[in-house]
Structure formats: C-alpha cells, structure tokens
Amino acid sequence: MKKIIILSALLSLSISPVNSGFAYAPMTTGEGATYAIYSITGVWHDTGYLDINTQTPILPNRRISYSEYDCPPFSSGWTGYQHPVGTPDTPVNLSSSLRSTFGQADGVFYFGEGVSENLTPMYPPYATITWNPIPGETFTVTSSIYAGCGDTTVVGTETWTYKTITCGINWAHFTDVCRTSLSESNGYKYNYVYMKAGYVTVGNQSCYWGGGFVDLWFVNSKAGTPTARPGWRYWALPCG
C-alpha cells in the first residue's frame, strides 16, 4: 500500500499513549487486524464515491498491528505495521506502516494520514474520518510537506478534500459503519469504511472487532482509463 497514515503535536488533545481514544480508530498498542488484499480497477465520482469494477487477490492475507509512533516536532500517534500473518509484530518497519494521527480543519477534529507519498511528514494531515462524522460534511485543505522528522524544511504542498459520505449503514457483515472519501490533488482517490468496536457475525462465527477501518480501497485517477483506474483494496477479516 503506497499511502500511509499520524497526531499533530500542535493539537492539544488528551490522548492515551497506548490508545487514540477515538471510537472509530482506537489503534490500541499491541492489537491489530487481518486484511485480504486485492488489486482493483474502479471509477471515481465527484460525489466522493469510488466504485469497484474488478478485484483480484494479489497477496496473502496481511496483519496490521498497532504501536506508538513519534516524529517530532510534527506528530505523535500510532503506526499500523503491515506484515504477513504469523510473523512478529515487532520490530516495526516504518516503510510498510500506516501512521495514524489527528488533525483539525475549520474547527473540526479528525483522524487521518500524516505522511506524504514520499513518506515524509505533512501538516495538516490528510483526513479519513472526523471525530463526530456527519453525512455530507466536507472540507478542502492545503498541507505543507516537510523534509523529514526533525527537519522543518518545506519541500512541497498537497491539496486534498475530505467528505463524510454516509453513516449508520451496514457493510456486508459489519454494522453501523461510516463511509468516507479522500481526494488528493496528486491523483489518488480513497474510500474508507469504519466501524466502532463490537461483535461481527461471519457465517456461524461471532468475532470481536476492536474498531478501525473494515474496508479501504483507492485508485490512481491519473492512470488507466476513466472507467478502470488501477488501485488496491484492504478488506478486514474479523474472524480470519
């Protein structure tokens, strides 16, 4: 997964060092989730919807495990280290990690991604879901991209738009979820589906979901054709 996910040290939020305190993405240290990974083609709509046309499994199932992360002076938060199921959660490889954080835009607190395409810090971070998601809410932000942790040299900017598409719906066997979108000026388009902690029934199994994204898919809108943009999908396997 090329894109990666951080909390701005500039925000005065009260957060546990082992848990984000956010119901939709608790990021509890030592916990994690298993995902099936697909190669997809999709269609992006200006309404924020990203439709999947085709999908093909491309990797064995992956585990995303959570731990603390720090990148002063820009961020502190949590990594989501992606690695094959059955391999150790540590040591964390940052180049294969989501980096989760909070940000603020127009007075709205949100959870999202704090690194650019080249994996260096950016502020404000991308938004992937707001603290109190309201269907239809949207905002556009231009973020500064920095040279690296400990280096405040600005090396570029990125403009992006977030939207809460809908909440309170079911998504396959996941219940009461929120679907959101992120559109980046670099061409990458995302849809996310988040569920709070709770039990999920898959077939004849009931499994506990600790909270976080249950589905994530993205495409590069500058590649392929308008009806078949290439990308990836991460689909959660709560009983996997």
> Stretch 24-29: mean pLDDT, rounded?
87
Number of C-beta neighbours around residue 76 at 10 A: 20
Q: Identity (one letter) of the amino acid at 133?
A: P
Q: What is the pLDDT of residue 102?
A: 87
Assess whether pLDDT exceeds 60 at residue 229: yes
Span 70-85, pLDDT tens digits: 888 876 778 888 999 9
Q: What is the pLDDT of residue 75?
A: 64
Assess whether pLDDT exceeds 60 at residue 5: no
Any residues with CB less than 8 A from the CB of 150 and at least 6 apart, and which?
72, 73
Question: What average pLDDT does the chain have?
Answer: 88
Rg of the chain over all Cα atoms, to the nearest angstrom: 17
Q: What is the pLDDT of residue 186?
A: 94
Q: What is the pLDDT of residue 92?
A: 84
Interior/surface letters 99-134, b for 16+ CB within 10 angstroms, e for the rest: bbbbbbbeebebbbbbbbbeebbbbbbbbbbbeebe
Span 141-193, pLDDT tens digits: 999 999 988 899 999 999 999 999 999 999 999 999 999 999 999 999 999 99
Span 104-143, pLDDT tens digits: 988 999 999 888 877 788 889 999 999 999 999 999 999 9
Query: Are 212 and 33 within 8 A, CB to CB?
Result: yes
> Stretch 7-31: mean pLDDT, rounded?
62
Could you tell me what percent of the chain has a pLDDT over 70? 92
Query: Are 65 and 83 within 8 A, CB to CB?
Result: yes
pTM above 0.85, yes or no: yes
Interior/surface letters 48-57, b for 16+ CB within 10 angstroms, e for the rest: bbbeeeebee
